[in-house]
Amino acid sequence: LNRVLHGVAVPLAVVGLTGLLWALPVPAAFTDISPALNWGTAFLLSAVVYYFILSIPLAIGLLPFVLATTAILGRLEGLAPALWQISLTLFLAALVLQALGHLLEGGRLRVLEDLHYLMIGPVWLMAGAFRRLGIPY
């Protein structure tokens, strides 16, 4: 049950956190480069670089998720409620699901102790999918 909860919570947490960053005001230099450049897309780009450092196959496997996250947040931007409100709700829901999973398992919620766990969550899920499919990484 903990794995299933994390399978839902990890993507929600990434979308929520990225959305919160996306909603922050950006310097004019960002928009001069591209209207799509914001703190959320900068975060995703840095995550992709980090994933490629960890494992090229896993990073390639995560690219559809990164693109989907970008598309979802692009669609949510400008809606009511505001993007930051939707994103905060998603992020908090993810934390509740993860806490519930850890409570059932008898562990503690480590993502609050070290943000590295938040970054490694998608790689952990992708590695599990690759193992089940017999794809080396």
Report how far residue 128's alpha carbon sits from residue 112's, in angstroms, rounded to the nearest whole number: 23
Write out pLDDT tens, residues 78-126. 899 999 999 999 999 999 998 898 888 877 777 667 777 888 899 999 9
Write out pLDDT tens, residues 59-76. 999 999 999 999 999 999
Report how far residue 63's alpha carbon sits from residue 29's, in angstroms, rounded to the nearest whole number: 26
| Whole-structure pTM value | 0.88
Residue 102 is predicted with a pLDDT of: 81
